[in-house]
Chains A and B, each alone.
Chain A
Amino acid sequence: MATVLIDTLIDITLLAFLAITAVAIIRMRNLFVIIMLFSIFSLHSAGLFVVMDAADVAFTEAAVGAGISTVLMLGTLALTKNHEEKNPSHRARLPLLVVLITGAALVYGTYDIPSFGDPLSPAQQHVKPRYIERSMEETGVANTVTAVLASYRGYDTLGEVVVIFTTGIGVMLLIGERLTRRNKREDDG
């Protein structure tokens, strides 16, 4: 009982911080501060994933969301202005309405979602019992997440790696090597 209470308290605290950070991101105009707040937002989500016992996801969120994407966004910021344009003069009534209706629809949708960790929910019924029961004897890997990612769903992971590879090629083609080399030549000359 006590652990459930502590879990709930941590959940509420983290979600409150998440909401505060999100509102702060919307209200800020200094892009450097916004990037730092994004990083904090990712860290809080990582904490939430840990509370939900999704250690692998939390790990990825902390490393990618809070770590490397912050560095990449700071690198991008160095190329642009530090400040967003001034507040738009018009009132955003229609967008606000759209956002409120969409949000209400999403909240309404959550009433049909099975509660967290419900053993009877469809997501827990399909292949998951098999993974949990047989993954140790079939793959000899203690971490079921790794077994699913690397073995049962090896095709998907291959696809993900190719996506990352393609991203790298895209960045190279758009802003990559040619410019760096030209800059270097200018420095030399």
Chain B
Amino acid sequence: MGNPMRIRAVTADGNTTVKVLMSHPMETGLRKDSEGNLVPAHHITTVTATHNDKTVLTAEWGAAVSQNPFLEFSFAGGAPGDKVSVHWVDNQGDSRTDETVLK
């Protein structure tokens, strides 16, 4: 189970903006460690965001998304008490889900 994400979701003018910071090395598989060995590719491949069980975003990523990825998007609607959840899966089978409750 990966490290926790920071999810911030703010509703204004009938729109909810979500900002996510994920903790992930996003290794390309091209970097060498201090001993000269290639560090294996290890990166998030799929991201899914939901608002109360409705999918509001899907993303497919390659290794070129930066380490400790940042993501911002927005969708119509959102009321206090609603849940916004973000789930990622990586190429080594690790995954993480975090959620926030709208205020």
Mutual binders A and B = no
